[in-house]
Structures are given as structure tokens and as C-alpha cells.
Chains A and B, each alone.
Chain A
Amino acid sequence: MQVANRPSSQADGTPDFSVEPSVVLKNPSFHDITEVISKPIESKATLKWYIALAFSMMLLTLELVCWGLSFYYGDGLWGNNIPVAWAFPIVNFVFWIGIGHAGTLISAILFLFRQKWRNGIARFAEGMTIFAVMTAGLFPLFHTGRQWLPLYLVPYPNKHAVWVNFLSPLVWDVFAVSTYFTVSLFFWYTGLIPDFATLRDRTLGKDLVSRIRKTVYSVLSLGWRFSNRHWRHYERVYLILAGVSTPLVLSVHTIVSFDFAVSGLLGWHTTIFPPYFVAGAIFSGFAMVVTVLVFIRYIFDMQHIITVDILEKMNKIILLTGTLVGYAYGMEFFIAWYSGNAVEQFVFINRAFGPYAWAYWIMISCNVISPQMFWFRKLRRSVPVMFVTSIFVNIGMWFERYVITVTSLARDYLPSSWGWYNPTLVDFGLLLGSFGMFFTLTLLFVKFMPVVSIAEVKGVMDNARPSHHGGDH
């Protein structure tokens, strides 16, 4: 049996598991790597890119229009009501924040664990984090009734002499999300500096575009000269930032889960929420990375850099986190039963068999059942299968937040105030539009910045040497 990428020393071709497999295939030279990664940036944008950008900007426009309308007329344009005071916008917020989690996990935690395979995908995953958090951040900001007063959520000395309420998880959220965004941005940018320098040095044309390009890259690369000292500092900073980011991976979604867990609403009021939300976030984040990478590696001929091996490893994590999430679903039921709290029991039975059962079962089949395919190596390595599954996972994870948010609110303590939630067109517009924002940013990213880290990939190639200078072109 010949397994791609795994050297086989045996005559019969069985893979040799004692040798670490190459992360990058086809044994390219450093120069080849630089060429491949720089190509999309340096060549003219293809028609496909323009079509994709046009489409996603259309969705972005939809989002802007929907935000504008909501701002002008009020939150009443959505389906939110009493009792379901939080619905689509909060679901979208948690969904996108979750998506953002893969980036930091891959770039920081896997970096600290010296997982070489992460180098091919880290850059993209980090970028995705930034964009996902940006997309997510708009929701809580505009979700309030008076969107022009977000500053009230920030503790600053003011003439009202009113401080924020530090007991409220929403205030924690403000800190958690903004810290996460800032650190992720720095981390991402730090990693980009050597690549910007590479791009700067490669930009030789004398035409106006080239000159602008050169100027921009020069500024962004902060005078990087690939010197040993630079590298040493860089590695230090990168390591420190990785260290700083690591707790954030866990803290952000923990705090987002506190928005729910700290409240007294049954179905939200659960101690399992922090780990469960973090697992779910990684789950959905990885799924989103897989969804997009499958395209990118194909479009930009990077199959040998973003190898099936890497994707397989991601799928394994999807399988793991999916199963964790499934465990959490089961544990919620168990605790509801074990607590002896009849209201809590009702909430969970109502979730699975009540009027919102359809959403619950979509969630279960997408999140728990669909990743189970990855137990099989063949399916795990099949690009079409992983693409479809990752889409399923994202659908499932969106529904998970929907189920948690809406079903718990719709039927709480007093049956007299039970209600029903119907999303409006504006709600759907914002949901679709948020994809527009995310993909517009992603598309601009893949066109103007190295979607794979040139420097880092070189570091994990078979011919990498400790003495390697990086600045090979």
C-alpha cells in the first residue's frame, strides 16, 4: 500500500511509520515555494476571483443595507420579541466568534506543540480569525436597541458618573472579544512581516502600481532584512504572542458561553457551557478552514503545500471536537434529568421534541452524526467528502446556537409568556450578508497577501536547514 507522502522503505511498499512524513510534497525548492505563494499576489486577478468578489460584495451590500435599515427603523425589523429577545443576531455573533477560533488554535496552540503541519494553513486560519471576529463583532454592536450608544458598555469616566456593571457577562464580552481581536491581529501581522519583506523585494517593476505596491510592502515589512537578529527577535515575539494567544483561545468562547451560562434561564444555566462552547468553536472553526482551504489549494495549485495529510489531520480534530460536542449534548440531558429540576427537564425534552425539534435534529445530525464519517481513513482523506461534511458541520453549529438561544427563551418558566420566534427577511439578510463580509475580506486577503506563510512553510520542508536565511528568491 502506497500512502502519499509517507516514505516507504519496505520493498512491498507498506508505509514506514518510523519516519516522519514530509509536510510539503514534491520536494520543491525554496524558490518554488516563494513563486507558488507569491503568484496570486503578483499576477493579474482572474475572472473567477472577480466573479467571486462580485458575489460576496453583493452579499456584503445586503448586510450593509440590512444594518442601515435596522439602524434607521429599529430592532423591530427583526423577528426578536419578548420572550425571544435574543435571536438571529446573537446566534450569528456566537457562530462567527466560533469560526474565529480555528485560527488562534492552529497558529498558537499547535505552534507551541510544534505541530509542523500547521505551518501550511496557519496564515489562512489566522486571517480567517480576524475576519470572523470582525464579522461577529458587528452583531452585538448593532444588536442593541440604541446602536449609537455602544460607548456605554466601556468603562470610561463620564459625566453621568455611571460605571459599567462588572457583574454582567456582556461587559466581560466586550473585554474578551476586543482583547482577542487585538492579540490575533498582532499575531497575524507579526507572522506576515517576513513575507511582506519577501514581497517587497520581489516587487521590481517601475510602473505606478508596482511602486505603490513596493511602498506599501516596504511600510508593512517594517524594514525587515532577513538578518539573523531579525529572525531571532521574530521567533521570540512569535513565541510570546503564541503564549499570550493560547489562553485567549479558551477564554473568549468561555466568556461568550458565560453570556448564557451566567443567566438564570434554564437551558442556558449550565456549567458545562465553557468547555462545550470552546469545543464547539474549534469544531466549527476547523470546519470553516477545511471548507475554504479545499478551494484555495485547488485554485492556487497549492496541493503540495496544503496537503491532504494536513486536511486529514484537521478532519481528525473535527471528529474529536464533534464527538466532544455530542458528549456535551448528551451530558446536558443527563444533568437535566439528574438535577431533578422539572423545569430544566422540560426545557431539554422540549428542545428535542417540542416545536423546535426540527432545529434540534438538524443540529444533532450535522454535528454529531456527520463527522463520524471521519472514523474511516478513506473518507477522511476524500476532498469531496470533507468538503460536504465541513459544510454540514457549519450548518449544524449555526443551528446549535439557534437551538440554545431560541428554544430556551421561547419556553421558559411561566407558560403564560411562552412565545414563538419567526425570523424576518432582514434577519436572513444579515445572516447571508455576514457571509458576504467574511468572504469579501477573505478574497481580498488571498489576492493581496500571502495566503500561506512563505517563511514558515520553508521551515518545515525536508530540505530546511537550521541555517536557512529565508530570504531566498
Chain B
Amino acid sequence: MELQQSQPQPRYWQSLDELKGTPEVLEAKRHEFQKGVTDGFDVKQMSGISRRRFLAAMGASAAFALASCKSYLDQGEVVPYNEQPEELIVGRPNYYASVIRTSHSATPVLVKTREGRPVMISGNPEHPFSRGGISSHAQARIMGLYDPERLKEPMQQGAPTTWTEVDGVLRKALSGLAGEGKQGLVLTHCLMSPSAKKSLDQLVKKYPQLTVHSYTHLNHSHRDAAWKKSYGQDAFPALHWDKADVILALEADFLGVEGDAEAERLFATRRDIMNEAVKFNRLYVAEGNLSITGMSADYRLRLRPDAQYAFVMALAQALGEAGFSLPGALSAKAAAFNLKQFNQTYGLAESTLKHLVADLVKAKGKALIYAGDRLSESVHLAVNALNEALGADALYDFTHPALHQHPLSNPAELQQAVAEMQTGKVGLVIHWGTNPSYHLAAMGYAEALKKVPLSVMLSTHANETSADCTYTLPVHHDLEAWGDYETHSGLCALQQPVVAPLHKSRQAEGLFLTWAASADAAYSETLYLDFLRYNWQESVYRQSGSLLDFQNYWRTALHDGFVNYRKSGASKPAYRAAALNDLVESKAGDGYVLSLHPAYATLDGEFADHGWLQEIPHPVSKVVWDNYAAVSVATARELGVKTDELIQLDVEGKTLTLPVLEQPGMADKVIAVELGYGRTQAGTIGSQVGFDANPLIRFDSATPMIAAVNATKASGKHRLVTTQLHHAFDVPREQDLHFARQIVNEGNYGDYLKDPHSIEMHVHKIPNITKPIEYKGIKWSMAIDMNKCTGCSACIMACNVENNIPVVGPEQVDKGREMHWIRLDRYYSGTPEEPKVSLQIMLCQHCDNAPCEVVCPVNASNHSDDGLNQMAYNRCVGTRYCSNNCHYKVRRFNFFNYRDEFAKAYYSQELAQLQHNPEVTVRSRGVMEKCTFCVQRIMWARQEAIREKRDLKGTDVTVACQEVCPSGAIIFGDANDKDSAVYKYQDHATSYKVLEALNAAPSVTYVTKLRNTHEKV
């Protein structure tokens, strides 16, 4: 205060005279407001316009001028809430637990909504299985909600109709079935909801002529059938992947398309460099096609899938020799096999096989053999026997075994149903969510459907089947629907609507209940909710033995998104060696073998119309917007084709022509093709993308997805678009650059245990002539643990959703203009036959000495005090110099206004725009963009901290990619906080920075990938 007083008061003056203080001025000032000073004014002589009027006129003309300036920002109107919902505060997100389902899975999720609008789906962190991990598919569902081509109202053969009419027609048709002596069919995908099952049961009860069939391409039928034979139980136990020291995966992509977030998470716990209490596991993979799991393998055996039976038997024989007691039936059958002989036939590395047998012997009780879904029941039977011998009991979890609400129909049953449709015995087919005309093309489903007088499709989107259906009825999207899902017994997840239905859709189960009820019963939105609650009260609530009253129990379940009502499970049932009598020997052919896989991007085609998924590069080949025939280099040479050239596949007269991709690591003579492409009725986005391999499925075989095939070169070419150039194995100077340039560091786990510093990347210390910038307070940093990363690409999807990344389409990707802020780099080393795959998540490294910042002429690229490399979109003029100077080439440029450019502005439509995250600017054309470290989340956390009057901590922020990563490979936080995880990673002996020698001082630390092999890397 004293200081202020001692300062001289400023003096204000109006004229120099005043400043000087002449007496005239002082006198005049005194009379400023004196009465009568204006008496001398003659108003008539003054201008007619008063000051007031002048200002009014000025104001009006300015207003008119402004009104004529139409700004593009002014479009639309902002309407405030008339009555604000109680739970909603404008600008604050609300989170709801719910479930996202696909044709084969149900993922517990947390949905973020803003002003009542869902904007992001992430995993439910409380769920004991996923723990917040989520696949890219479940995340991409948000795109389906706002898809402009979603079904909006009931349609009768292309013409709009009303629900009343539909109800009437269907009731009549259903009750007419009995009179006509015809059957009715309900076809759906995997039924995981107990209440949905009950609603269908009610329908069947009312109309007994109905038969329910469920199927999906992504099923565990063979595994489950073999389990039932071996152990007498339906339910396959959940697996303790984290307790297995040695895992042998036979044609099993359990970290990829055949697995789930839980498998990835548990597997990663055994690759945790920070947890010294656990040792790394060792993963052996024997497969024909290079999969995500194969890329993660410590040892990989290239083996054609039809030789898996022989391999298992040879392995059994070897294990028998090693002293394991095998069931008699197995030893007898295995006696004809010999690992050495097998090895000679298939040219596998002898040392690897030796290690495999030795490791399995050594890890007895903690070794697991896991056979893939597509292998025959016999292989699974033999594997069960081997696991029994290996004593894998401890690895099974019977608390929450896998559960099917309705047994999946086997191919024979489906074939039978199709035959009945063909003969006209079927009077009505109700499809629910599935697409059999496409999936069951090999059975001739589409033709059979045409013979059915009345067919109905309940779906969110039109598809190949709905094109031939009498009625196409829109049902609620996952985010609009109620539901419960029990994929694992005792663990039931609740699905609740997070947004009111956007269109005139209905809850499918509600429809079943309506049709099953008396003729005058009308559909209502609460119909199924009441039914669901009643079911829960009767079953889940009862079984849980909860002390809460039901109302509270229900509320808690809704809040948590799931209930875990069983705490302990049964013990392992006894093994029945008799199951081995069903072993059917299968001999591997000499010719080409076709291996069909569900696609990483589209699964069985369900997600073909989700542009984001189509644009996520294939985890292995980096191909986007397409499928192809993957073959080994030798096989390609044998067929006389190169990448992009066409081959014709012929399976028992059914042909398919598609382009070839020379995929390193493929077993010779194997032709791997992904299903889920070549859809014809998947809207603007999904139609005519890739090639439909469904007709090649051999439903009559023990292995429908694996079949002998004739392959011949066809004329023509089809360009496969990739985000990474095809690796040139034949150019010596381009080999192993990722090691030579210090981009990727890898080491051997054994070496690491002996001396962690022995695998350190050696980087010359660079003397600085300038003082490095010190970050006081928080320094945002990231660590990426490449030991945990499998390459599942869920992070890319999370980034897409969080940061409003546009879809650009294959033509633009082909030009090198994909917009992903985070990418998954894949490097090969070694030979094209036995490549070693190195993955690397690459995103903006937020360099302290960022090269992009110095060259930006307009300061659009600059640095924050907490270590962020920032992008000021409004300032960016788009010189692209920053991208040129970026060592990591992680910057992305809007060469077009991509939302307007792609697919005739498909994603510019009003509905699609609702999907955008309101926290993140939608970038216009001509602007550079890149990873921001989710700056909007940082700002949110900071705002919360300020509101709560506390310091912001590094752990307050979870970035989008980190949030969804099932294996926890991405760590984000404050590098200045010595207790933070990110600091510990940065400080770890095995951590390194990419291209560290360039002295850009990146903020992203990578953890050396350790391979748990016997040999040195």
C-alpha cells in the first residue's frame, strides 16, 4: 500500500492550456455545467441532425452493413434449453455405461455424451475382463449411429410404410403359418443377451412353427464342441493368459481378430518390463498367414493350416517321448507321426521345434496350447488332450466360462434351413441384424430367400439380404437400445440407451414381444425395458443374492454397466479320454490351400460401411479399403504373379478373381483371403470395396474356412492401396534401416535379465551450444512400451473419434494423404520367408527442439510451457514446410476439405456432423494438423483442477489412445513428476528415443522390444 502511495498520481489534461493551468481555462472549467451556458445556442441554426440522431443513424447503418455480411459461421441456430435436464450441464460431458455388440461379441463400454449427444465410445474401465480395453470396431460404432444412410423408417420393398401396417401384416403372417402348414425362421447372429433370448422364446412359444437359427463367421464352434466331448461341458473356460509361461498358438489369432481385449490385456501383463515380479512369457505361433499374434511371436513356425493336425500329432509324439503320459488313444494315433519327419516335410526350423518341446516340458503346468477357431474339431480334441497332459488346469478359469444364450446353428442345420426355404416349406423368415445372403452365399441363401413369400429384415442398415426382403424394419442402434449381455456366465453387462432414437426405429426385442402378445397389444418403448427389468429381478438379482433392494440393485448395475454375480466357479471337470475316439485324421494336401479369415477392418462385413475402419491400415500389410490374396513370395513366383496382379481361385467350381499381395512370412502354397469385403449393398461407403470370398466357404467340410484350392494367374491388375511402401527385400541398402538408423531397438529378454544396460541403444552425446529449455511445472510426455503393443490399431480409432479425423478414401490414401495422427509402423528384417516384424507406434513426438517450429514462417507451429508442440490452425497458411522438416513425418495436411471431398460430401451431411467431438476444431482445407497430445483433455483437466483449487497432476490426464489400449502400451503423464509412470519409463534402462541423435529431443519414449528367445537377437 505504501508503495502505491509513494507513486505520483497520473495527471490527466484536456488541453495544453489546462496543462499549463492558465487562469482562463481554470475559470471556464468551473462553469462547465453552469445553468444558462447553452442559452446562447440557436437550435434552428444548427444542423437538423442531433447527436443522438446521428448516432442512431450510424448504428442502424452499421447494423445493416453487418446484416448483409453472411458469415459461414452463422449457419444454423443455437437454441438454449427451455427446461434444462437435471443431469446435464452445458459444456460438461456425461458418461454412461453401456454395451456395444458385434456379430460375435459384446463389449462393455463407457459412452461419452455432450449435450445429450454421444461423441465417443471407450471401454468400461471397471469391467473385470476388458478393464477399459476396447476394439476399434466397438469404438467405430459411433459412426454407425450418425450414418446418414441408416434405415430411418419401415420400408416395404423400397417404399415407406408404417409400423402399424407392419405389425398387422406380421401378426397375420405369423399366426397364418400354422394354417398353411408352413414353417417360420428367425435368423440372427450370435445371441448373447438372456433377455433377448427370452423375448424370442416368447415369440416361438406363441408361434411354435418358428425355428431360431443363429450363426456368425467369428465363432468358437469347433473349440466348444471339442471341449464338450473332452470335458462334458458346454462352456469353455475363460483363460488365464497371464499365468501361462509358454503359449503355443496354432493358427490362432488370439491377440487379434479371434481374441478380445481381455486376452490382449492378460498377455501384456506378462510383457511388463516394470513389473520385476513377473517373467516374460514365451509365445510360439504356428500359422500359415501372418497375423497380429504371429507378429508378436517369439518363435514363429510357417505352417500351412491343413497340416496343423499332423503337427499336433507329431508334437504329441514328441511330448510322449519326452515323458509325458498321453491318453492311450492319442499315443496310438500319434505313433504314426514324427516331429523330425514332419519338420523335413514342411521345412520348419529344427532348433525352434526343439526349443518348443523343451519349453513345453519345462513349463509343465504353466504351458498352454491354443488352437484357432478355424481348425477342425479333431485338432481341438487333440489339443485338449495335450493340454490335459501338460497340466494346464491352473490356466482355466471356471468362474466366468464362455456362454452362448442360444447354441449356434452348425452349417448342416443352416444348410437344412436353406433347403427348406428352397422347397417352399418356409412361409416367413425374420432376419435380425444378420446378413445371410452375403454370409451364406456358398449355400445359395439369396436364391432360397426369393422363394419365401414373406421375409423381414430387422437391422440398422440395409444390406444384401434386406434387398430381397419384403419388409426392412429399422431397429435401434446400440446407443439407442436397452439390452443385457452375458457372454461369460455370471458376468452380465447392461446396455442402456444414451440418446433418444434418431429415427423411427424400434427395439427389436420389443417387436418380438409385441408380436407375441395379444393382437391388440401395441408396441411401446418401455415394453422391452419392463421385460428386461423383470428378467433381471427374476434371474440375475436372485442369483446374485444382493442385499440391496432391486431398485437400487438395478440402478447400481446401470451405473456400473455390468454385474458380476458369481465370485467363484466350479472346478475343472474330469477329462474324458474317450473323446479321442472321435479323432478324424486329416491329411494336408500338396496343392494350394485357401485360408479364409475374418477381416481386421470389417470382421465379417458388418463394419464395411464404417469409413474409419476401412481406412485403418491392415495391421500387417498396411492395405486399406481392400482385401487380397496374401501369398508367400515363393508361391507368387510359382503362380507367376506379383503384387497387384490378379489370380483366380477355384474351390470346387466356385471361383473368385482377386489381386495378390506378396506377404512376407506366409507359408508356401497358402493363399489367405479376408472375408467381409466385396459387399454390394453396404451403402455409399461400404459397397464395392474389395472382393467377396464368402462363396468359397466350404460349409460341408470339417474346416469350412480352410480348403484346397486351384489357383491360376488371371489377366489384369488391381491396385492395392497401402500406407507403407511394400518392403523391398531385394535391395540390400534398404534392409534393416530401422535398426541402423536407431528407429527401433530390440533386444533379448535373457540378455536384459543379465544386464539391462547391455541392450541399450548407443547414442552419441550431442553437445549443445545453447542452453536447453527447462520445463518448470508439468512437462507432458509419453512412453510407449513396444513389449505390450500387439498392433491391434485400437489407438488409431480412438484418435480418429476423439480428434475428428476425416475419412479421405482410398484414392487419397494412395496419393499418400491419409490423415491419421497416430500410425502403426511395421518394419521387416530378415528374409521374406522368415521375416522378423518390428512394430512401432508413431505419432507427433512433441520434440523440445521441434524442427517444425523453427521453419514455420507464421509461428503457427509453436511450443507451450508444458512441453506441447502446438498447432494454431487459424494461423496456419499451409506452406507445409513443417512437414518437410519433421523427422518423423507425422504431420498431416488437409489437401482438400476432406469432408466435402470424400464420397460426394458423405460425411458432411448434417447427421454425420453430429458425430464430431465438440472439444476439437474441425480443420478446414489448407491447414496442417497432427497429434496434439489430446490438448483438449489436458485443458479440461486443468480447468477441473483450477475449479477444485488444486494443482494439476500428470495423472489427471488420460489421452484417447492410452484410454482404449487393451494392453496398456501407451503411458502418458508428467515427466517432471518423479513418481509418475511416464518418468519411470523414461528413466528405464531399456528406454530410447527415436532418432535421438538428431537432437530434436522428442517427448515420446519407447521401450525396447525384448524378444524372449533362446538365441540372441
A residues at B contact (CB < 8 Å): 73-76, 79-86, 143-147, 149-150, 152-153, 160, 162-165, 167-171, 174, 259, 262-265, 268, 342-343, 346, 349-350, 409, 412-420, 422
Contacts and interface: CB of A to CB of B under 8 A. Distances in A.
Contacts of A422: 815
Interface stretch (B122-130, B171-179, B292-300, B880-888): B880-888
Q: Which of A268, A412, A414, A415: most chain B CB closer than 10 A?
A: A414
Interface in B865-887: 875-881, 883-885, 887
Nearest to A146: B926
Contacts of A143: 879
Given A76-B901, A86-B884, A412-B889, A264 B998 contact: yes
Given A74-B897, A144-B877, A419 B856 contact: no
Given A153-B877, A412-B887, A413-B995, A167 B817 contact: no
A88 to B, nearest CB: 13
Given A76-B817, A163-B859, A264-B851, A417 B881 contact: no
10 contacts: A81-B816, A81-B817, A152-B877, A164-B858, A169-B855, A170-B879, A263-B885, A346-B733, A346-B737, A419-B725
Interface of B: 724-725, 733-734, 737-738, 740-741, 743, 812, 815-817, 823, 825-827, 840, 842, 851, 854-859, 875-881, 883-885, 887-889, 891-897, 901, 924-928, 994-995, 998, 1000
B857 A75 contact: no
Contacts of B876: 145-146
**Among A82, A165, A264, residue most surrounded by chain B Cβ atoms (within 10 Å):** A82
A349 B733 contact: yes
Contact of A145 (B842, B901, B926): B926
A152 B880 contact: no
A150 B889 contact: no
Given A150-B877, A342-B740, A417-B888, A82 B901 contact: no
Contact of B927 (A146, A162, A163, A265): A146
A82 B823 CA distance: 13
A173 to B, nearest CB: 8
B193 to A, nearest CB: 42
Given A264-B851, A415-B738, A418-B725, A85 B858 contact: no
B896 A74 contact: yes
B925 A145 contact: yes
Contacts of A162: 858-859, 875
B842 A414 contact: yes
A76 B878 CA distance: 12
Contacts of B826: 416
A412 B737 CA distance: 11
Contacts of B892: 82
Contact of A409 (B741, B859, B884, B893): B884
B895 A80 contact: yes
A263 B927 contact: no
Nearest to B891: A82
A84 B884 CA distance: 7
A147 B927 CA distance: 11
B883 A85 contact: yes
Given A164-B859, A171-B857, A420-B816, 7 more contacts: A75-B926, A86-B881, A153-B858, A174-B857, A265-B885, A417-B825, A417-B842
Contact of B885 (A84, A264, A342, A415): A264
A415 B827 contact: yes
B883 A83 contact: yes
Nearest to A168: B857
Nearest to B879: A144
B854 A415 contact: no
A414 B825 contact: yes
A244 to B, nearest CB: 26
Given A75-B878, A153-B858, A413 B887 contact: yes
8 nearest interchain CB pairs?
Answer: A145-B878, A145-B926, A81-B816, A76-B895, A416-B825, A417-B889, A85-B880, A146-B926
A242 B263 CA distance: 77
Most buried by A among B815, B883, B893: B815
Most chain B beta-carbon neighbours within 10 Å: one of A76, A262, A350: A76
Contacts of B840: 416
Nearest to A85: B880
B884 A76 contact: no
Nearest to B898: A76
A80 B733 CA distance: 26
A413 B890 CA distance: 12
Q: In the complex, which of the residues A81, A86, A259 has the most CB atoms of chain B within 10 Å of its own CB atom?
A: A81
Contacts of B740: 342
A417 B857 CA distance: 24
A186 to B, nearest CB: 26
B816 A414 contact: no
Given A74-B926, A75-B895, A145 B857 contact: no
Contacts of A167: 854-855
A143 to B, nearest CB: 7
A414 B889 contact: yes
Contacts of A152: 857-858, 875, 877
A342 B741 contact: yes
A138 B897 CA distance: 23
Contacts of B926: 74-75, 144-147
Given A82-B883, A169-B855, A416 B925 contact: no
Contacts of A414: 738, 741, 743, 825, 842, 887-889, 994-995
A168 B856 contact: yes
Contacts of A264: 851, 885, 887, 998, 1000
Contacts of A343: 741
A262 B927 contact: no
Highest count of chain A CB atoms <10 Å: which of B725, B842, B884: B884
A263 B995 CA distance: 16
Contacts of B725: 415, 418-420
A170 B734 CA distance: 33
A165 B893 contact: no
Nearest to B727: A415
Nearest to A422: B815
Contacts of A350: 733
Given A165-B856, A170-B855, A420-B725, A74 B885 contact: no
Contacts of A262: 854-855
Contacts of A416: 724, 738, 823, 825-827, 840, 842
Nearest to B734: A415
A171 B927 CA distance: 18
B877 A85 contact: no
Nearest to A79: B815
Contacts of B877: 144-146, 149-150, 152-153
A346 B731 CA distance: 12
Contacts of B816: 81-84, 419-420
Given A83-B889, A144-B877, A262-B855, A73 B815 contact: no
B821 to A, nearest CB: 12
A413 B741 contact: yes
B836 to A, nearest CB: 15
Nearest to A167: B854
Contacts of B893: 75, 82, 85, 145
Nearest to A408: B884
A153 B878 CA distance: 11
B809 to A, nearest CB: 11
A168 B842 contact: no
Contacts of A160: 875
Contacts of A144: 877-879, 926
The winner among B817, B883, B888 for most chain A CB atoms within 10 A is B883
A409 B738 CA distance: 17
A416 B839 CA distance: 10
B222 to A, nearest CB: 37
A420 B994 CA distance: 23
A308 to B, nearest CB: 45
Given A81-B816, A414-B825, A168 B881 contact: yes
